[in-house]
Amino acid sequence: MSAARILVIDDDPQIRRAMRATLTARDYQVSDSRTGQEGLEMLRASSYDLVLLDINMPGMSGLETCRLIRAGSEIAIIMLTVSNAEKDKVDALDAGADDYITKPFSIPELLARIRATLRRLPQPPGHADLQPLLAKGVQIDLPAREVTVRGQTSRLTAKEFDLLSYLLARPNKTIAHRELLQAVWGPDYGDELEYLRVFINRLRKKIEPDPSSPQFLITDAWAGYRFKLSE
Amino acid sequence: MPSLANSTISQPRFVSRRMGAGATRLAGRTVASLGLIAAITILLYRFFHVNATTAGFLYLVTVLVIAAASGIVESTIASIVAMLCFNYFFFPPIGTLTIADPQNWVALFAFLATALVASQLSARAKRRTQETIARQHEIEKLYSLSRALLLADASRPMGQQVAQRVAQAFELPVVALYERASSSVYRATEQELPELDERLKDAAHRSTSFHDEGSKLTVAPIRLGGQPIGSLAIAGSSLSDAALHSLLNLVAIGLERAISQDSMNRAEVARESEELKSTLLDAIAHEFQTPLTSIKAVTTGLLSDSAHMLPEQQRELVSIADESADRLSKLVTDAIQLARTEGGAFRLKRGVHFVSSLVSGALREMKSLTDGREINLSLSEDLPPVWVDAEMIQMVITHLLDNALKYSPSGTAVSVRAQLSDGRVTVSIANQGPGIPVDEQSSIFEKFYRGKNDRNLKGTGMGLAIAREIMAAHGQQIWVASQPGKGAEFFVSLPLARGAEAE
């Protein structure tokens, strides 16, 4: 991959300086912005591959910024959180982030997260067979990364897409949490059940006619998840 | 003498004055009745010369008037006197109390019976009316009391207000209220009665009533849901049993309302102060971690940049800065965790969790320390899920792991075990370090305590204190087993989850 473009949104100037210096040294193209508002404008003006977004900013909060970015884009987002509290992590993922990292973090740790987030699942050659899938008013267009439920089309983020296509490629089979995490996020992952909970919920909101009683994305308690296909 | 049933309290002067006034009124009314009969007799006998039948009816009317206007005693006396006058002045032979015609005996007894029955009926009706009016007054007073209690000022002691309002509503000279919860006596009036406090306490604790007819003192327990919550003493007025019962119920409700309001306020204050504390701690964490984040980005950036390796001496210096930043970050994190958990003033978010996922979560968090160390996991198969706050218990395991790793040589293994025993899951973390001297084993859970032989400040002195607070909040134990030279093993017990689903 050629140099990925990263946008750092953080109100602390020292962090912006440190990110710019260290990430540029790793051959990333780095821009930064001081506020969520400014970040949104920069995202509209030019294209980026990934956003590093501080959760705790004056004015427009990180979570709010994340939701607004997600409303119009499937760009990769990593949230920078302070507290290690479960709630903050889930809030970040719920707002549409792909991953989070807790401050203070080390650069190798951050680089690993960036790589995992930008990492794409290699698509099996036969994956064209899977589409278009039509089931009870639900149409999933994998190449276009689009889902249409009762005429309403929504786009999938890269991680959502990878997760869905991994499950779709193995229909009616329970996939263990660890296997899913390592396949979609990478070999460093495996215990982050909260990722799966949040991402499966996000997917359900997009593909299930009734997200509260899923008919496709089934939770097999304590074991994993399964994509249910009739026939 | 006034009767002193069940009482040692007496106020003879007060009582006899009241009795004297009643007797005087009775005598006055009797004299007036007799005067009225005398006047009728003179009128009929001297001036109108009516026959016996007319006289009998007029006497009867007079007795009825007297019965309607006065009590049973006066009307009975009037009936007998009227009968005697009737006989003496109108039945032949006139001027004697003898009766010649036996038929007149019948008429005379019919007259007496009619007069007596009529006076009885009239007196009873009058008493009923008076009672009804009295009940109505009591109900009006109870109503005004209930209104007053509803409008009571919740910021002032409720017992005092209740006593005052009872005294006002019922115009009582003596009202005292004993509140069991605060064991204090509230008086509405200045007037003192001997032994009142003792009687109040006695009534409240033994849940028995006391009544003294003479001084009209009643002391009764205030019950709520069958439990006595205090007692009320009133004197100087006789309330009906029904009114007293209603009064006690009203007072009970008034006191209870104050108590529940009070506990609600306290819970609200506690919740707000907990939220404020939490917000403050979050802000402090953010303020400290932000500069540390840029320091860590710089040091780890320099140390990990393989394209531009630092010379050995500079590498050493940057490593020192990097390790110090880690240490500072850990101090801040631990201090905030300690502040959050200290005194158990935090809410547990309990759920059903598996010990294996709690342990693996902690190991994941400790990845940077566990790298290159041998960790032996032995979690029994089929451990039942536990009912804990996962984040908090994971924090406990993290601190224990952190200690086990820090206080043992780098070449040795750390073991994590979990097993079911006595209806709990016991998790233990053991190392092969120098162990903890027996005399220090009870002190290590105190905050800022560090081993006597360990002055190189490996830990923050807060980890075990945090762990102890978290285990206490769960109602569970944390303990240590160690023999110097043979390592140390820390244990925590976790309660089992029952009938719920794990996540």
Structural domain contains residue B500: no
Q: Do B361 and A191 touch (CB under 8 A)?
A: yes
Please provide the average confidence, as pLDDT, over all residues in chain A.
Answer: 86
Structural domain contains residue B288: yes
Q: Do A193 and B291 touch (CB under 8 A)?
A: no
- The verdict on A187 touching B (C-beta cutoff 8 Å) is no
Question: What six digits make up the tokens of B90?
Answer: 């109108």
Q: Do A191 and B360 touch (CB under 8 A)?
A: yes
Q: What is the C-alpha to C-alpha distance for residues A111 and A119, in angstroms, rounded to an integer? A: 12
Structural domain contains residue B396: yes
Please provide the average confidence, as pLDDT, over all residues in chain B.
Answer: 83
Q: Do A107 and B503 touch (CB under 8 A)?
A: no
pLDDT band, residue B272 (cuts 50/70/90): confident
Number of domains in chain B: 4
B500: which chain A residues are within 8 Å (Cβ-Cβ)? none
| Among A118, A152, A170, residue at a domain's last position | A118
Whether residues A191 and A103 share a domain: the answer is: no
pLDDT of the residue at B456: 56
Domain that holds residue A17: 5-118
Q: What is the C-alpha to C-alpha distance for residues A181 and A175, in angstroms, rounded to an integer? A: 10
Q: Which residue has the tokens 């005693």?
A: B73
pLDDT band, residue B469 (cuts 50/70/90): very high
Which of A87, A91, A113, A116 is closest to A101 using CA atoms?
A: A113
- Interface subset of B 377-416, CB within 8 angstroms of A: 390-391
Domain that holds residue B26: 12-141
Q: What is the C-alpha to C-alpha distance for residues A171 and A229, in angstroms, rounded to an integer? A: 6
- Which residue of A27, A105, A107, A196 to mutate against B (max B Cβ within 10 Å)? A107
pLDDT band, residue B490 (cuts 50/70/90): very high
pLDDT of the residue at B451: 67
Burial of B103 (0-12, 13-18, 19+ CB in 10 A): exposed
Check: CB of residue B490 under 8 Å from CB of residue B442.
Answer: no
Burial of B375 (0-12, 13-18, 19+ CB in 10 A): middle
Whether residues A85 and A170 share a domain: the answer is: no
Q: Which residue has the tokens 């050493």?
A: B316
DSSP letter at A174?
P
Whether residues B369 and B238 share a domain: the answer is: no
| Among B236, B265, B294, residue at a domain's last position | B265
Whether residues B414 and B287 share a domain: the answer is: no
When pLDDT is averaged across residues B433-452 and rounded to a whole number, the result is: 83
* CATH value at residue A104: 3.40.50.2300
* CATH value at residue B218: 3.30.450.40
Number of cross-chain residue pairs from A and B with Cβ atoms under 8 Å apart: 79
pLDDT of the residue at B500: 45
Whether residues B254 and B306 share a domain: the answer is: no
CB-nearest to B290 from A15, A83, A105 is A15
When pLDDT is averaged across residues B341-363 and rounded to a whole number, the result is: 85
pLDDT of the residue at A133: 58
- Mean pLDDT is lowest, of A161-170, A174-183, B107-116, B415-424, for B107-116
Q: What is the C-alpha to C-alpha distance for residues A55 and A100, in angstroms, rounded to an integer? A: 9
Whether residues B261 and B282 share a domain: the answer is: no
Whether residues A104 and A150 share a domain: the answer is: no
Q: What is the C-alpha to C-alpha distance for residues B482 and B438, in angstroms, rounded to an integer? A: 8
Whether residues B103 and B88 share a domain: the answer is: yes
Whether residues A13 and A99 share a domain: the answer is: yes
Whether residues B260 and B275 share a domain: the answer is: no
When pLDDT is averaged across residues A101-123 and rounded to a whole number, the result is: 86
Check: CB of residue B426 under 8 Å from CB of residue B480.
Answer: no
When pLDDT is averaged across residues A1-30 and rounded to a whole number, the result is: 90
Whether residues A152 and A191 share a domain: the answer is: yes
pLDDT at B418 over 70: yes
pLDDT in tens, B10-32: 334 444 444 566 678 888 888 88
Q: What is the C-alpha to C-alpha distance for residues A21 and A17, in angstroms, rounded to an integer? A: 6
Q: Do A105 and B305 touch (CB under 8 A)?
A: no
pLDDT in tens, B192-232: 777 788 888 888 888 888 888 777 888 888 888 778 888 88
Structural domain contains residue B287: yes
DSSP letter at B47?
I
Structural domain contains residue B296: yes
Q: What is the C-alpha to C-alpha distance for residues B296 and B306, in angstroms, rounded to an integer? A: 17
pLDDT of the residue at B264: 84
Q: Do A107 and B285 touch (CB under 8 A)?
A: no
Structural domain contains residue B41: yes
B501: which chain A residues are within 8 Å (Cβ-Cβ)? 221
| Among A85, A118, A151, residue at a domain's last position | A118
Q: What is the C-alpha to C-alpha distance for residues B341 and A157, in angstroms, rounded to an integer? A: 39
Q: What is the C-alpha to C-alpha distance for residues A77 and A53, in angstroms, rounded to an integer? A: 7
Which of B93, B84, B39, B89 is closest to B62 using CA atoms?
A: B39
| Among A118, A133, A165, residue at a domain's last position | A118
Whether residues A29 and A107 share a domain: the answer is: yes
Type of residue found at A8: V
- 3-class DSSP assignment, residue A9: strand
pTM for this prediction: 0.60
Whether residues B315 and B438 share a domain: the answer is: no
Cβ neighbour number for residue B225 with a 10 Å cutoff: 7
Whether residues B233 and B197 share a domain: the answer is: yes
pLDDT band, residue A136 (cuts 50/70/90): low
Chain B residue with the nearest C-alpha to that of A104: B293
CB-nearest to B296 from A12, A56, A106 is A106
Check: CB of residue B144 under 8 Å from CB of residue B165.
Answer: no
- The verdict on A144 touching B (C-beta cutoff 8 Å) is no
- The verdict on B440 touching A (C-beta cutoff 8 Å) is no
pLDDT of the residue at B1: 40
CB-nearest to A221 from B285, B301, B501 is B501
Whether residues B227 and B316 share a domain: the answer is: no
pLDDT in tens, A177-187: 989 999 988 88
Number of domains in chain A: 2
Whether residues B317 and B286 share a domain: the answer is: yes
Q: What is the C-alpha to C-alpha distance for residues A53 and A223, in angstroms, rounded to an integer? A: 33
Q: Which residue has the tokens 């220090």?
A: B440
Structural domain contains residue B4: no
Whether residues B355 and B487 share a domain: the answer is: yes
Structural domain contains residue B3: no
Interface confidence: ipTM more than 0.95: no
| Among B339, B362, B382, residue at a domain's last position | B339
Q: Which residues pair with A135 in a beta bridge?
A: A138
Q: What is the C-alpha to C-alpha distance for residues B203 and B189, in angstroms, rounded to an integer? A: 20
When pLDDT is averaged across residues B371-382 and rounded to a whole number, the result is: 87
pLDDT band, residue B258 (cuts 50/70/90): confident
Q: What is the C-alpha to C-alpha distance for residues B390 and B369, in angstroms, rounded to an integer? A: 21
Q: Do A107 and B300 touch (CB under 8 A)?
A: yes
Taking the CA of residue B322 as centre, how many other CA atoms within 13 Å lie in the half-sphere pointing to its CB? Answer: 17
When pLDDT is averaged across residues B382-398 and rounded to a whole number, the result is: 92
- Interface subset of A 37-66, CB within 8 angstroms of B: 56
* CATH value at residue A215: 1.10.10.10
